Chain A
Amino acid sequence: MANKAPKILVFSTEKISDPAIDLAGLLKMHYPPTIYSIPLRCSSSVKSRWIMHAFEQGFDGVFIAADGTDCSYGESCVDKTAAIIAQTHEMMKAKGIEPARLKMAALCSVCAEPFVKHMKSFYEALSKVPA
């Protein structure tokens, strides 16, 4: 595990944060290719079991690219997503998974730069965190 590139799963959202990830590509802003995204409808629809499943299957980190206040389904989405993260952190602790492996940040639809910054620092951090 130590000398392998960390694998990160990003749960993005179809209307807001995934377009930002697309824009990063369009602007040829590079980030490691072991970062994959699965776009959901809204970040607050992510189930803890999916996140836990990702860790069980070998992902080193999971990143929730939340909608923030731009969410077209209502502003409550940030709080709801945060609550899911908190709950999942507890589940991770119980399973002995470092909570730092699950992160969240709000990204707007043109937040390409912030996305790449988040990815680089998360990737770096995961390279250091013991498995």
Chain B
Amino acid sequence: MENEVLSYDALVIGGGIAGEETALNLAKMDYKVLLVEKELSIGGKMILLSKVFPTLDCAACITTPKVSETARHPNITIFTGSEVKGVEKKGERNFEARILRQPRYVKEDACTGCQECEPVCPVVVKDQYQFNLVGRKAVFVPFSIANPRIAAIDIENCSLCGACERACPADAIDFSQEPEEKTYQFKSVVVATGYKLFDPIKMPRYGYGRYKNIITSMQMERELAPTRPFNTILRPGDGKMPDNLAYVLCTGSRDHTVGNPICSQVCCMYSIKQAQLLMGALPMADVTIYYLHIRSFGKGFNEFYETAKGMGVEFVKGKIGKISEKENGNLVLRYDDIETGQVKEVEHDMVVLSVGILANDEIGQVFKTQKLEFDDYRYVKQIDELKRPAMTNIDGVFVAGAASGPMDIPDSILSAGSASSEAASYLALTE
């Protein structure tokens, strides 16, 4: 820490795919970048996905090379488990940011990620990286392909029993670590804070949270991922393998009643992808997708949609009114069948809610001297969307990825490319 650098060309806030891409682009132009990630690993949401549409590449396989390239790049410094607390603009190409680094209670350079600490830890809590499908210990390696792949102690849940300390072959456990807040200087800032997932608990008529066999699409991603919590697809209520699944599209999107009138842009496609993967994993299962409009608009997407239809995925144009649970854990969906104009009821043994994506507006409070403007949906406002899509209302602050609106991975890559170019042009003015 003695030689710690306190000044960088760019601060990239958020280490998901957009933040990594931006950081790498800038680093390859020889700019020094500090990448700050709130979670314990970089990789964002993408690293937790199963496969990606429409290529069906395994998400981990294609994202981990980018993650490790980011982690290895000599021009990029990464703070995980850290938060940007305040950004003040002092002048052009002169920003000051306070950054809080939460302790891992594990020495980063000593831990080898061997996980010997995990079995001895007596505390079990829900695993947020598996979207609560299973438990984890209070000392844990976040997930198998995390970067850095080292342990951390969830101090709020830790019983301070010291078992991990005794089990660690590398003497890496260190309860004496403290939070550390410091001020750093930057010439530019890129906001790549991504999105939040809609929490379907806000729609009681679907019964999520009450009915055990309703899960969110992100939970299904985990069930399908190579680093999945169970070794197969099962319904959480009783561990039975489902054979008649339903997808409810537009859960929390295009819906004024939950305050989100816009389309989330990705749910149609990820649901179609999951349906295809489920047909592979559970060859006997039926999968039905209840939709209003199928929005397979990107390169190769419509063809992917046609493939799903060809595989036998059922598409029903219908609006789900209410879901209720039967004694055997099956679910009854009451819906408006748009093709016949009738209200129908149908039984499924597992329901996946295709949850929408929402603005992650916490970044707003970080900007102190000048307020960062949002659009009508609380996304970071692009003030010249057609000509400078990464520009925000603050000169020198740029936006990348889903922080500016719902988007899929390729669009995030393009958006990160814009942020990199625009930031580089801004930085070039000093020279």
- B168 at interface by CB-CB < 8 Å: no
| Bound CA–CA A19/B60 (angstroms) | 12
B57 & A109 in contact (Cβ 8 Å cutoff): yes
Is B236 an interface residue, CB under 8 A from the partner?
no
- Say if the beta carbon of B51 comes within 8 Å of chain A: yes
A26, B61: Cβ atoms closer than 8 Å? no
Tell me, in angstroms, the Cα distance from A33 to B61 when the chains sit together. 25
A110 within 8 A of B: yes
The reply on B389 being an interface residue by CB < 8 A is: no
Contact in complex: A109, B226 (CB < 8 Å): no
**Using a Cβ–Cβ cut-off of 8 Å, how many residues does chain B contribute to the interface with A?**
6
B226 touches A23 (CB 8 A): yes
Residues on A with beta carbons closer than 8 Å to the beta carbon of B56: 110
Instruction: Report B-chain residues with C-beta under 8 Å of the C-beta of A19.
Output: 61
Task: Report the minimal beta-carbon distance from B68 to chain A, rounded to whole angstroms.
Answer: 14
B226 cross-chain contacts in A, Cβ below 8 A: 23, 26-27, 110
Within 8 A of B (CB), among A53-91: none
Contacts of A109 in B (CB 8 A): 57-58, 61
The minimal Cβ–Cβ distance linking B141 to chain A, given in whole angstroms, is 16
Task: Tell me the complex Cα distance, A23–B58, Å.
Answer: 11
A72 shortest CB reach to chain B, Å? 12
Chain B residue numbers with a CB within 8 Å of A110 are 51, 56-58, 61, 226
Instruction: For residue B29, give the distance in angstroms from its CB to the closest CB of chain A.
Output: 24
CB-nearest residue of chain A to B231: A27
**Chain B nearest CB: distance from A87 CB in Å?**
32
Shortest CB–CB separation between residue A75 and chain B, in angstroms?
A: 15
For the complex, give the distance between the alpha carbons of A110 and B280 in Å. 13
B48-68 vs A, CB cutoff 8 Å, 1 = contact: the mask equals 000100001110010000000
Complex Cα distance, B60 from A27, in Å, reads 14
Report the nearest B residue to A26, measured CB to CB: B226
Residue of A nearest to B55 (CB): A70
In angstroms, Cα B61 to Cα A27, docked, is: 14
With the chains together, A25 CA to B51 CA distance in Å?
19
CB distance from B279 to the nearest CB of A (A): 14
User: Which residues of A in the span 7-53 have a Cβ within 8 Å of any Cβ on B?
Assistant: 19, 23, 26-27
Q: Which chain A residue lies CB-closest to B58?
A: A110
A23 to B51, CA, bound (A): 14
Closest to B65 in A: A15
CB under 8 Å from chain A, chain B span 39-82: 51, 56-58, 61
Please report which residues of chain B, range 328-387, place their CB below 8 angstroms from some CB of chain A when the two chains form the complex: none
**Distance in angstroms between the alpha carbons of A27 and B228 in the assembled complex:** 10
Q: Chain A's nearest CB lies how many Å from the CB of B55?
A: 9
Residues of A within 8 Å of B57, CB to CB, are 109-110
Residue of B whose beta carbon sits closest to that of A112: B226
A–B Cβ pairs within 8 angstroms, 14 of them: A19-B61, A23-B58, A23-B226, A26-B226, A27-B226, A109-B57, A109-B58, A109-B61, A110-B51, A110-B56, A110-B57, A110-B58, A110-B61, A110-B226
Closest 9 CB pairs of A and B: A110-B58, A109-B61, A19-B61, A110-B61, A23-B226, A26-B226, A109-B57, A109-B58, A27-B226
- Measuring CB to CB, which residues of chain A are less than 8 angstroms from any residue of chain B? 19, 23, 26-27, 109-110
Q: A26-B226, A109-B57, A109-B61 are in contact. List 11 more A-B contacts (CB 8 A).
A: A19-B61, A23-B58, A23-B226, A27-B226, A109-B58, A110-B51, A110-B56, A110-B57, A110-B58, A110-B61, A110-B226
